[in-house]
Homo-oligomer: A and B are copies of this chain.
Amino acid sequence: MELIESTTSFGGKNAVYRHRSHACNCDMTFGIYLPPQTERTSVPVLWYLSGLTCTHENAMSKAGLQQFAAKRGLALVFPDTSPRGEDVADDPAYDIGQGAGFYVNATEAPWVRHFNMYDYIVKELFAQVCNHFPVTEMHGITGHSMGGHGALTIAMRHPETYTSVSAFAPIANPTESDWGRKQFLTYLGANEDQWLRHDATELLKSKGWRRDILVDQGADDPFFNLLRPQALTDAATAIRVPLTYRAHTGYNHSYYFVASFAEDHVNWHADRLAP
């Protein structure tokens, strides 16, 4: 693991590392924020999964999470959104290929060789973080847009690992959206049964969630119809999962929206990971 960059931020450290990924069969880059508390103790971890076109860097520099993570003593992990490199498959569209891993393990050529972001996040980077940094076994997960989809689906499939979950404007029902159907067909093939394991709404229906969920959504998000938050809230209501869904008038899909509610999400996770 190679340290690329290290900067002080709110009394803690932002660090960027590059490492060889077996899951993705290429070098991967991730960011981590270690709050000042890690100088003397281990801390819980909040994973932040980013959206389409992002790298590890966008949320690190724009979401404003560090300030609150420093106050509450949470580490933050900022993974990249896909494998990258000259020999990694790509597509001219912004929402397929590099920058658009969708947190699945691809089964279709040519993606199958590198696009295993699900295993990368859940297994490989998880182990890397736990082995190399002063963190406890308490993990929460959040994300934005495609990353909100990743956070919800990963948490629901691994409730023993992720104690808390939240999302900013998640792709909440991708099997019914053009942000989802196109990618699942490309990465996972035509058998739609395989898609259901990567749909937060479908997972909530099939597996439930024993704790609570926080979802914030810009009411003026231009991608609202692609995100389908109402499918998730309907499912939560039907099976009585305590989902807090907040639609915020005037907010769009940008990091200005994410930053405006960063404090609430950090506190949500901190209250559940280190009460």
Contact = CB atoms under 8 A, between A and B. Distances in A.
A11 B254 CA distance: 14
A64 interface: yes
A257 B61 contact: no
Complex copy number for this chain = 2
Interface stretch (A2-10, A110-118, A157-165, A179-187): A2-10
A64 B254 contact: no
* Highest count of chain B CB atoms <10 Å: which of A14, A64, A218: A64
Q: DSSP majority for the A interface?
A: mixed
A10 to B, nearest CB: 5
A187 to B, nearest CB: 31
A7 B256 contact: yes
A268 interface: no
Nearest to A58: B61
Interface string A1-27: 000000111110110000000000000
Interface string A45-88: 00000000000000001101011000000000000000000000
Contact of A8 (B7, B11, B220): B220
B67 A254 contact: no
A250 B10 CA distance: 10
Interface string A227-267: 00000000000000000000011111011110110000000
A253 to B, nearest CB: 9
Contacts of A13: 250
A8 B67 contact: no
A256 B257 CA distance: 19
Given A8-B250, A10-B260, A66-B259, 20 more contacts: A7-B251, A7-B252, A7-B254, A7-B256, A8-B218, A8-B251, A8-B252, A8-B260, A9-B257, A9-B260, A10-B259, A11-B260, A14-B256, A61-B62, A61-B255, A61-B256, A64-B259, A66-B256, A67-B259, A67-B260
